[in-house]
Amino acid sequence: MISELDLKHLNRCVELARIALNNGDEPFGSLLTDHEGNVLIEDFNHVSGGDHTQHPEFALARWAAINLSLEDRANAIVYTSGEHCPMCAAAHAWVGLGRIVYASSSAQLVQWLEELKVSPTPIYNLAIEEIIRIANVDGPVPELAEQVKALDFL
């Protein structure tokens, strides 16, 4: 179930993805909220320096591990413009974060990259549920996924 508050946070993630793109990075943005929906931290993709592990979801997981109790992590929600890659899904689960809400799915990303004839990434774009045993996940959200697709993935 996607609420109005979820949509608000997802819209911000798409904005963050646009900021990343304008910085020369890949168009992905994410944010972490507490259980009341207060934004704790935002981030976006930073791979243009050559480190392709600089994904926002990974950064949020590390931030949570340092700054939140186990209970607060479990109650926190990660919003993201694109579904977590396997690396980020694993980091999410290892630090014990809670729900994930994404605008566009990994399956959609794979399809878009194929349409653009972009060579595939070095890892399989698996769904979060294929990485995390007990996943609490909502997405994709069609109208926002269209906005994500409109960002230039080349």
Residues near Zn ion, by CB under 5 A: 55, 85, 87-88
Number of CB atoms found within 10 A of residue 135's CB: 16
Q: Name the amino acid, one letter, at 112.
A: W
User: In the complex with Zn ion, which residue's Cβ is closer, 77 or 88?
Assistant: 88
Name the strands in the sheet holding 77-82, side by side, starting at the edge strand that comes first in the sequence.
39-44, 29-33, 77-82, 100-104, 137-138
Name the minimum Å distance from CB 1 to Zn ion.
25
User: In the complex with Zn ion, which residue's Cβ is closer, 18 or 55?
Assistant: 55
Rounded distance, CA 141 to CA 100, Å? 13
Name the minimum Å distance from CB 57 to Zn ion.
5
Name the minimum Å distance from CB 87 to Zn ion.
5
User: In the complex with Zn ion, which residue's Cβ is closer, 87 or 127?
Assistant: 87
User: What secondary structure letter does DSSP report for 119?
Assistant: P
